[in-house]
Structure 1
Amino acid sequence: MSFNQRTQPVPPAEKWLTKYTWAWASWDWGQAAINAVMITFVFTVYLTSELFGDKDHASLVLSQALAIGGVLIALLVPVTGMRADAAGRRKLWIMVNTIALVLICAAGFFVYPDPGFLWFGALLIAAMSVASEFAGVNYNAVLNQISTPATVGKVSGFGWGMGYVGGILALALVLFGFVDPIFQWPGASTENSLNLRLVAVFSALWCLVFALPLFFIIPESPAAMSEKIPLRSSYAVLFRRIASLWREDKNLIFFLLSSAVFRDGLAAIFTFGGVIAAGTFGFALSEVIIFAIVGNVVAAVGAIIGGRLDDVLGPKAVITGSLVGLLLAGAGVFFSPAATGFWIFGLLLCLFVGPAQAAARSYLARLIPAGREGEMFGLYATTGRAVSFLAPALFGAAIAIATPLVAAGEAQRYGILGILMVLAVGLALLLPIRAPKKSSNEASA
């Protein structure tokens, strides 16, 4: 079914940067504080520090909590997305899950620097990842409401770019307002880790404020079915639809599988980027945050440029080129002897991550049958979670193999090879898949 048959509140393809696009992308801007500040660079570093006891034990507890969250996401997001499609309640569930995300994030203020609060903090991080994913499935599904075949790449890239820029500003405010304040104020006090606990409140407010435009401007999606799907029947309906999809469009199924692999490699670049910067190249925490800020700037530029190339060359060409660039830049990081090399090749990694992420989303959006956006993006999330062990496992395995073979302190560098292996496998799986066909109005744009 063509995009022209979908409900779209925006008119002509040439007017893609509308109030709907801005409102949609604003949510990504706000949610970036949760990913960049809470889950990736700041709060989890606090939670796995010596303030909570043995660092290895704290890391293990955090990984266990996140594993529980990952299982919940894998089991629930396709069904919740499908039910939101059927009932025409995408925006409602974005709002519900965003508010839940904000409340969970704000509760991080009560994670005091004591081992007794370790599990509480870890479960909050896991709950944030679950709420964020639930909201994100329906958020991604809105992409087809606010774009056309000729603009879906630009709109997707713009959303990713806005998310990166939001992360940049949030990280900068956290660094210079809480972690390493440029002027002293009561909220910057390190007594009882007040400054780091207030980071949770700041992130919650940032997320809420920038979600408001979507709440008030984006219209609710129309119901895709005249009858609601009973909860007890949801999984049976989902499995029938997957079986039907396998018979009708194996290409979409293969894309979900291949994208799951290379997206795990993309996620690992950010997950382990800070770890490698600190452990292999000797960056201090403040330097890691500064690199994260600059890296997000580069990633934002890459996502926006990649989005425009997406609409010209197609998403498969953008993803393929990005993965090749990532493999070359990753090799550069591996062979770099000093921090200067990490800055150069690490920023090149950031440049190619954005286009790959944005084009993967637009690729799927182009393939989805109308009215099944939430369901398909739910499967997109689930397949990603199903293989999310790959990059961490190969990262760890490469380090374990290298440990007895190299000098002390050098084994972590070899974890980079594990991440590159995941990206290479994802690229190999992507190459045989057919690229989405351009519709007539897209080809003429």
Structure 2
Amino acid sequence: MTASPTADVPQRTDRRALVSWALWDWGSAAFNAVVTTFVFSTYLASRAFVDPALVADTSAAGKALVERELAHNAAVVSTALTIAGIVVALVAPAIGRLADSSGHRRRSVLIATIGIALSIGGMVFVAPSQPYLLLGAALLGIGTVAYEIASVGYNAMLGQVATGEQTGRVSAIGWAAGYFGGIVLLVVLLVLCIQDFGGGDVAGLLRLPATVASGQWDVRVAIGIAAVWLAVSSIPLFVTVPEAAPDRSRTGSLLGAYVDLVRDVARLWRERRNVLAFLLASAVFRDGVGAVFTFGGIVAAQVFGFSASQVILFAIAANVVAGIATFLSGRLDDRFGSRAIIAVSLVGLAVCGIGVFAVGTVTAGFWVLGLTLALFVGPVQASSRAYLARLATPGREGELFGLYATTGRAASFLAPALFGVAVTIGGSTRYGILGVVVVLVAGLVLMAVVKREPRAVR
């Protein structure tokens, strides 16, 4: 007998399950904020992985060689993330579909979360030496694949912890929890590990000797703390939120999952083109939104002269703003619809991006416009997830969020590519902002053909 796909979906929002679900987002800040954005990826692309003899050479030729090595380090990191993106694009839809059909959605998230924690833990052993660069990049790629796979099942679980009329609100709570988790974790790491306060000397509870600071054990201890943070924060999800009911009507093999996937995409084209239109539009604008944080630290450092600790302080402030805005946007999403929130947020992001470009190198202008821009980052991400959750067939959310991950990865080259082109043409990192703005505007244009989502039946 085939179980009903909606048998385990609660009819009322379970607060205990909601908190447990949101805590995974809280813990995932260990990967988003620490690994991919502000600490580990920056560490890999830094002078820590350049031959010390070259760094010590202050001649023009020596500086040129250092810049070349730094570019090589950044290219290695970029290549690892590109390969990870290809892997995710290939496997995410099938894994999501298999999780739906087997009723092992929570298990898929658990296994992938263990993979994330282990990859972060392995980063502790990446010493600041050239031979360790490839190891660090490989761990970054593995962690990215694990994180994206975990996100497929995790996003699909939204329907298990929220009723239809509260989908937008609950999705926003999860995203806000991620931002606030990032705030707390970054503050902890800034106080305990990161020593650079613009040349100042601030005591921390885990004060590190000067011989192991500055890109060595300060970063590696921070990474170790992040791994524990993720592991502990994830536990409630696996204890509290039940498995979804299996959908026995779906194929249970990996090969069969891909065959069914092709058929379903063709069916979506025939019967639900709005879903495909949204997947395309969201792939573009999500790449632009992701680039806001990915390149925000680079712009802050290279254009506005922020030190490493100042970049983290800005990140903390931006996360505070984004977290509050995302939490408040949930009610607006349920009131006006996800599509409206996405459109308004994209307009706000584009306008603020142009403003950051226009202020030149005025630091105060970057702070004001950068924090204003942060108002719109969270809402567009949370509403995008809520929009798709409202369109998903009950019991088959995993396959749709698998496609969501795949399309997002398929377009992940856009913002980095246009950022690089704009920098090359303009001759300054500041021009890269315009490249990101172009991607955001393109996503907004594509959203114009996407229909408003159906309202929930109360």
Does residue 1:33 correspond to 2:14, yes or no? no
2:148 to 116, 133, 142: 133
Return closer, same or farther for 1:227/1:339 CA change in 2, 3 Å cut-off: closer
Q: Which amino acid aligns with 2:212?
A: E
Does residue 1:45 correspond to 2:37, yes or no? no
- Indicate the larger mover: 228-237 or 320-329: 228-237
In structure 2, distance between residues paired with 1:390 and 1:327: 16
Given that 2:89 and 2:410 are in contact with CA atoms closer than 8 Å, whether structure 1 keeps it comes out as yes
Given that 2:8 and 2:245 are in contact with CA atoms closer than 8 Å, whether structure 1 keeps it comes out as no
In structure 2, distance between residues paired with 1:334 and 1:7: 52
1:363 to 354, 379, 387: 387
In the other structure, the counterpart of 2:273 is 250
2:312 to 267, 289, 306: 289
Given that 2:87 and 2:145 are in contact with CA atoms closer than 8 Å, whether structure 1 keeps it comes out as yes
Shift of 1:140: 0.1
In structure 1, distance between residues paired with 2:380 and 2:403: 19
Return closer, same or farther for 1:190/1:89 CA change in 2, 3 Å cut-off: farther
Does residue 1:426 correspond to 2:443, yes or no? yes
Cα displacement string for residues 132-169 of structure 1 (whole angstroms, at most 9, x for unaligned residues): 00101100000011111110000000000000000111
Q: How many residues align?
A: 428
Does residue 1:95 correspond to 2:110, yes or no? yes
* Aligned partner of residue 387 in structure 2, secondary structure: helix
Does residue 1:205 correspond to 2:221, yes or no? no
1:157 to 158, 162, 172: 172
Shift of 1:176: 0.9
Kindly report which structure 2 residues correspond to 1:7-406, keeping only aligned pairs within 5 A, or say none. Answer: 7=7, 9-12=9-12, 16=13, 18-53=15-50, 54-180=69-195, 182-183=203-204, 185=206, 190-191=211-212, 193-226=216-249, 228-337=251-360, 338-403=362-427
TM-score by length of 2: 0.91
Q: Which amino acid aligns with 2:446?
A: L
Shift of 1:34: 1.0
Given that 1:143 and 1:365 are in contact with CA atoms closer than 8 Å, whether structure 2 keeps it comes out as yes
Given that 1:86 and 1:225 are in contact with CA atoms closer than 8 Å, whether structure 2 keeps it comes out as yes
Cα displacement string for residues 341-363 of structure 1 (whole angstroms, at most 9, x for unaligned residues): 01000011111011000000000
Shift of 1:339: 0.7
Return closer, same or farther for 1:290/1:363 CA change in 2, 3 Å cut-off: same
Return closer, same or farther for 1:8/1:334 CA change in 2, 3 Å cut-off: farther
Shift of 1:440: 3.0
Cα displacement string for residues 292-347 of structure 1 (whole angstroms, at most 9, x for unaligned residues): 00100101111111111000000001001111111111111111130100100001
Cα displacement string for residues 349-393 of structure 1 (whole angstroms, at most 9, x for unaligned residues): 111011000000000001111221111101001101101111111
Return closer, same or farther for 1:126/1:189 CA change in 2, 3 Å cut-off: farther
* Aligned partner of residue 60 in structure 1, secondary structure: helix
TM-score by length of 1: 0.93
Cα displacement string for residues 41-79 of structure 1 (whole angstroms, at most 9, x for unaligned residues): 011111111110121111011111111111100100000
Q: Which amino acid aligns with 2:405?
A: A
Shift of 1:209: 0.3
Q: Which amino acid aligns with 1:377?
A: F
Given that 1:29 and 1:164 are in contact with CA atoms closer than 8 Å, whether structure 2 keeps it comes out as yes
In structure 2, distance between residues paired with 1:186 and 1:100: 30
Return closer, same or farther for 1:38/1:366 CA change in 2, 3 Å cut-off: same
Given that 2:85 and 2:145 are in contact with CA atoms closer than 8 Å, whether structure 1 keeps it comes out as yes
Q: Which amino acid aligns with 2:387?
A: Y
Q: Which amino acid aligns with 2:240?
A: I
Given that 2:251 and 2:257 are in contact with CA atoms closer than 8 Å, whether structure 1 keeps it comes out as no
Long gaps (5+) in structure 2: 51-68, 196-201
Given that 1:37 and 1:171 are in contact with CA atoms closer than 8 Å, whether structure 2 keeps it comes out as yes
In the other structure, the counterpart of 1:6 is 6
In structure 1, distance between residues paired with 2:342 and 2:10: 27
Given that 1:188 and 1:195 are in contact with CA atoms closer than 8 Å, whether structure 2 keeps it comes out as no
Shift of 1:10: 3.9
Given that 2:288 and 2:436 are in contact with CA atoms closer than 8 Å, whether structure 1 keeps it comes out as yes
- Cα RMSD (Å): 1.6
In structure 1, distance between residues paired with 2:250 and 2:84: 31
Q: Which amino acid aligns with 2:441?
A: A
Given that 2:5 and 2:247 are in contact with CA atoms closer than 8 Å, whether structure 1 keeps it comes out as no
Q: Which amino acid aligns with 2:247?
A: A
Return closer, same or farther for 1:368/1:360 CA change in 2, 3 Å cut-off: same
In the other structure, the counterpart of 2:430 is 413
In structure 2, distance between residues paired with 1:272 and 1:147: 34
Cα displacement string for residues 233-280 of structure 1 (whole angstroms, at most 9, x for unaligned residues): 221111111111211100001000001000010000000000000011
* Aligned partner of residue 453 in structure 2, secondary structure: coil
In structure 2, distance between residues paired with 1:440 and 1:157: 20
